[in-house]
Amino acid sequence: MGMADYNTMEMMICAAARNLEDGKAVAVGTGAPCAAAMLAQKAHAPNLVIIFEAGGVAPLLPTMPISVGDSRTFYKAVMASGMCEVMETIQRGMVDYCFLGGAQIDMYGNLNSTVIGDWDKPKVRFPGSGGANDFGSLAWRIMVITPQDARRFVERVDFITTPGYLDGPGARERAGLPAGTGPYKVITDMAVMGYDPETKRMRVESIHKGYTFEDVQAKTGFELLKAPEVVETPEPTEEELRLLREEVDPNRYIIGR
């Protein structure tokens, strides 16, 4: 397949979906993470449990919901619970994956969705945490889908809304967070990044077709590490694209961006 056959959003959604295994539980919001979870469920993980912050647990999503409280997030669900039940499920260690976003992310996967600039006199004030801190503190693996941009990938976040590996190895545990939890993958329009098990720093694992490591580094505000073997990200298959376009997002709410 050539580059013209899919767009960057479709590439990111397909790359994210492949990381979700059958039988696992994933907490998602709306947008690209929801599309990735729906695609995974239809493509290779029929028993993927999708959880929405507003209380929908394991719905069989008929079409793309527009908010976490949309009635579609409860369609044929196992439970129509509420926000407290969902947060408690994460606290119990029963959520394998969560998708988060933010205005800034650093080399340790710390996320900022609070302010740009000084806390007292910010240049920009964002909505804040919502459930992000709970999700990022207690879900086993944090996934992020975001464009590659040096203004987003910064040396040091202006504010830690959601903890990644904080300032390095052992820091999450010292802060009282469960051992074994933390950042897992960052999927951008250029690459898929993971984290080095020793240093807990972000590292490039695969690069999308048409880009080089130097391209990715040029759009990152800190030094990226490389995985032992950096590969080319597999392109979306015809079946993935068919599911995405016909069943997941036929109105192109997300993939049309």
DSSP code of residue 228: E
**Pairing of the two strands 202-207 and 225-232:** parallel
Main-chain dihedrals φ then ψ at residue 52, nearest 5 degrees = -110, 145
**Of the residues 10, 53, 205, 240, which is catalytic?**
53
What is the chain's percent helix, strand, coil content, to nearest 5? 25, 25, 50
* SS3 label, residue 160: coil
Which helix (DSSP H) or strand (DSSP E) does residue 118 occupy?
Answer: none
Residues 6+ away with beta carbon under 8 Å from 178: 93, 138
Burial class (CB in 10 A: 0-12, 13-18, 19+), 129: middle
Which helix (DSSP H) or strand (DSSP E) does residue 141 occupy?
Answer: strand 141-145
In the residue annotation, 53 being an active-site residue is answered as yes
In the numeric block, the tokens 């449990």 are attached to 49
For residue 111 the two structure tokens come to: 């996320």
In the numeric block, the tokens 């609070």 are attached to 114
Integer-rounded Cα radius of gyration of the chain = 18
Active site residues: 53
